[in-house]
Amino acid sequence: MRSLREYEKIVGSAVLNQLEQLAENLTGLKVVHVNSTKAGGGVAEILSWMIPFMTELGITASWEVIQGDEPFFNVTKTFHNGLQGHQVNLLPSQIAAYEETNRSNAERLRPILEDADIVFIHDPQPAYLLHLCPNRKGKWIWRCHIDASHPARSVWKYLRPLLEGFDASIFSMAEFSKSLPHPQFLIAPSIDPLSEKNRKLRADEIARVRTKYNLDPGRPILTQVSRFDWFKDPIGVIEGYHLIRKFAPVQLVLAGGGADDDPEGAEVLRLVKEAAADDPDINILLLPPDAHRTINALQRCSTVIIQKSTREGFGLTVTEGLWKGKPVIGGDVGGIRLQVINYHTGFLVNSPEGMTQKIRYLLNHENMIEIMGIKGREFVRENFLLTRHLREYLTLMVGLRRGFASRLIAAA
């Protein structure tokens, strides 16, 4: 397990001192995070470093995962799609399955949740737990990782009363916030620069992965890493690839894994394979959840990173691409807008044609690929590494303990 001090060479010692000084106000605080999967997806990745680092800073932090069956994850996928704007029907039987799964998890988790000083509930899957812990003594925070700017009415009508009971919410962007009767905070996610997925790799390891997947180092490689999910628009990426192939011999990598809480992935993957139609230059890779080094190598050997989402909470794969010094072609939505700045770190696009045009520009201006890569990496260093993320959680927790005012003087 890494220590926070190992990040000193990346962010500097003053940033780490800052975390320790803030955390002095939180020693012994009992903090519990609850989500719905231990592996796969950005939330699990964030929690896998956040819990140990909170612990290292003197906080009694733990991570609980709710257990559900297929009907439960079908409902929560409906929530997810509905919050992201798909018109979905929410049936009474689905609501019953959702509440029943939360009820059975509450039997197991109630003692730890009711005893905690602060509980962070990630996304809607475990949100009903709040109503099943009547003797809770701490503050409960709903952390929304989803682009919930235009939720389907049916889903929001059910979820809103559940969420109103929380003491506060956290969103990645103001645009995702909702009308709720409690304080709403803004915290953008982040990446761990020393994780297997983001750490520096030796050139021979990158070359091995490139060879393993039959990628030609002499031709441009375009890569989108993400779950096989409609909102990531993998079919749109393939359409864009076909347009680019008219003028450049590019190769496309669509790499992703499934998440335990995503039952739609298999169907999306089937249709993506159909769209690829045995084109040898389209590499569709279904990777296991622990294939972090492979993803790292694939991103590092890419010429351009794509994240052509049509809805996106934040887009950690964008952050990963920028950290590896690659320009990113991103969908003009959600948190991608925070990271992809036209002509600085990449380009925002709205269609396969837009993707084609911007990649064509980059392939014809190789110096821009390098300049954007340098800017993107520094942008991430300043803003989207885990130290900033941790600092904002600590600041929020100090505020939750002390009461929010425009200015709080922390204890010495």
Partner 1 sequence: MSPFQIKDCALIVSISDQLPALNLREFRERVATCSIDSIYHHFCETVLRPTFDDPEFHNDFARWARRGLHDHVLAERLEILNPYEYTDLEDLRKAVLDILEDRLSELSTIPWALHDNQFFFHSATTVVFDTSLTIDSPEHLGPAVSQMTTGSIYYHFWEARRRTPGHTDDFTEWLKGWDGKGEKMIDALSHIDFYYMRLRELQLTLVDLFTDICGNGAAT
Q: Which residues of this protein are in contact with partner 1, per CB under 8 A?
A: 12-15, 17-18, 21-22, 24-25, 149, 171, 174-175, 177, 183-188, 338, 341, 344-345, 379, 382-384, 388, 391-392, 394-396, 398-399, 404-410, 412
CB of 337 to partner 1, least distance (A): 9
CA dist 155 and 144 (Å) reads 14
Nearest CB to partner 1, comparing residues 289 and 354:
354
- In terms of CB distance, is 177 or 195 closer to partner 1? 177
Question: Which of these, 233, 191, 212, 190, lies nearest to 301 by C-alpha position?
Answer: 212
113 token code pair: 């949740």
The DSSP bridge partners found for residue 31 are: 61, 118
CA 364/CA 302 separation, integer angstroms:
16
Encoded tokens for 313: 């909470």
CB of 384 to partner 1, least distance (A): 7
- The least CB distance from residue 295 to partner 1, in Å, is 24
Provide, rounded to whole angstroms, the least separation between the CB of residue 94 and partner 1. Answer: 29
Closest approach of partner 1 to the CB of residue 12, in Å? 8
Closer residue to partner 1 (CB): 133 or 398: 398
- Tell the smallest beta-carbon distance from residue 402 to partner 1 (Å): 8
Closest separation between CB of residue 285 and partner 1, Å?
31
Place of tokens 């821009």: 368
Q: What are phi and psi of 258, to 5 degrees?
A: -95, 160
- 221-225 sheet: strands from edge to edge: 282-286, 251-256, 221-225, 304-307, 328-331, 346-349
Q: Of the two residues 151 and 220, which places its CB atom closer to partner 1 in the complex?
A: 151
CB atoms within 10 A of CB 93: 10
DSSP code of 123?
S
154/395 with CB nearer partner 1: 395
* Residue labelled with tokens 């335990």: 260
Query: Tokens at residue 33, please?
Result: 């995070």
We find the least distance from the C-beta atom of residue 388 to partner 1, in angstroms, to be 6
Residues 157 and 210: their CA atoms lie apart, in Å, by 48
CB of 137 to partner 1, least distance (A): 23
End-to-end Cα separation, the chain, in angstroms? 29
- For partner 1, the closer CB: 98 or 185: 185
Which C-beta is closer to partner 1: that of 22 or that of 298? 22
Task: Provide the minimum distance between the beta carbon of 7 and partner 1 in the complex, in angstroms, as a whole number.
Answer: 14
* Structure token pair of residue 91: 């049936």
* Amino acid in the structure at residue 137: K
Q: Which is nearer to partner 1, 128 or 393 (CB)?
A: 393
Cβ closer to partner 1: 98 or 142? 142
DSSP state of 149: S
Q: Where are the beta strands (DSSP E) in 160-258?
A: 168-171, 184-186, 221-225, 251-256
Pick 344 or 365: Cβ nearer partner 1: 344
The gap from C-alpha 94 to its chain's centroid, in whole angstroms, comes to 26
Supply the DSSP symbol for 345.
T
- What phi and psi, each to the nearest 5 degrees, are found at residue 172? -80, -25
Q: What is the DSSP letter of 191?
A: B
Contacts of 176 (CB under 8 A, 6+ apart): 144, 146, 147, 148, 149, 313, 334
